[in-house]
Amino acid sequence: MKSVRDIDVTSKTVFVRVDYNVPVDEKLNITDDNRIVETLDLIRYLVKRQAKIILASHMGRPNGKRDPKLSLVKVAERLSQLLDKPVLFADDCIGEDISKRVSQLENSQILMLENLRFHPEEKENNEAFAKKLASLCDVYVNNAFAVSHRDQASVTGIPKFAPESVAGFLLEKEVQSYYDSVENPKRPLVAVIGGAKVSGKLAALENMLKFVDKLIIGGAMANTFLKSQGVDTKGSMIEEDLLQTAADIVKKAKKKGEDFLLPRDLVCADKFDKDARIKEVLVDQIPDQWMALDIGPKTALRYAKAIKDAGTIVWNGPMGVFEMEKFISGTQTIADAIAASSAFSIVGGGDTGLAAKKCNVADKVSYISTGGGAFLHLMEGKKLPGVVALE
């Protein structure tokens, strides 16, 4: 990829695709501004080099209709505070008024466009819409790793029509971190995979078998693997249609001589509730109708030991229902082990990033990805459409 560092942006109008899809509360106040903070270095770089800056993002799922609750106006206000610099705001992203405002931008000024997804053409990757966006700029910069697995107008459409298209700092950093952790890792490479469903990570698991030295399985997806090995998981969540697939993955791992670690004990509950009764049991001793909601303490310590001598650690998915205090212990032990390791550690975004923060290790791991879906896309061995569009 060509980098924004490789070109002269002085006095040029630079369209930056960012991901400002941030969480907000009932009063529309931003509750986590990390995705905004992650873009500050690039914006300051462009400001310093006298570029005219357009910022564009989506927020939520407005389904192609204008929704005041999903406006980016609050994001513009927060960005202005973080930069200690005015950020202009446009109430749309295309049209004559927008073109006029862009033409009036002075060097180092910043204009944020309204939610791209207020137009259905964004998700449809409509060519005419992409052309209109591209007509606003001299340079297109993709700095939105979290949406780079999407084939959408502002991700893959604009590069077809913009005079120059390059990668931003965050996109470069994300792709490099993946390369360093999976394709060119310091060994042993240990992958810790958790979360709810095997189906959501099936392709990633099968691809990771080509790279890893140890594969650690937790979360509800471990139940499907356990049942595929003959364990009666009682009332636990499993995916019946993937039992054979799970068995095949275990078989492939053993054939390759890789360590494939499954839970030996579990924290079970009589219901899916923060006030549920719980028991710590061996995997073959789950009470009737009870369900596994976390890995057990013996398993957590065994996993921590397996992590200790890692050269590289890839973590995607919590070990249990970490949102409930009774079922965070397994995830906490794993998070602490990763934080204590001297290995290069990369944490997949989404729930895993939230788990890292809740376990107070976010500042102790090497890198937390800003995009869960895009990170998983790479783990599946696929190229990101947003990156391919820049090549």
Which sequence positions are flagged as catalytic? 35, 197, 350, 373
- Please give the structure tokens belonging to residue 268: 């079970």
Cα–Cα dist 141/16, whole Å:
5
Neighbours of 324 (CB within 10 A): 16
Cα 134 to the chain's mean position, in Å? 26
Query: What b/e readout covers 299-321, taking b as 16+ CB neighbours within 10 angstroms?
Result: bbebbbebbeebebbbbbbbbbb
Sheet holding 278-282, edge to edge: 278-282, 265-269, 291-295
Residues 6+ apart with CB under 8 A from 154: 17, 56, 58, 116, 122, 130, 133
**φ/ψ (deg, to 5) at 361:** -120, 5
Cα–Cα dist 21/30, whole Å:
10
- Please give the structure tokens belonging to residue 138: 């001299």
Residue with token string 């998915």: 317
Selection from 313, 350, 316, 354 nearest residue 201 by Cα:
316
Cα–Cα dist 388/1, whole Å:
8
- Please give the structure tokens belonging to residue 60: 């939520």
Residues 6+ apart with CB under 8 A from 126: 120, 153, 157
Selection from 381, 384, 388 nearest residue 183 by Cα:
381
Selection from 118, 114, 69, 70 nearest residue 88 by Cα:
114
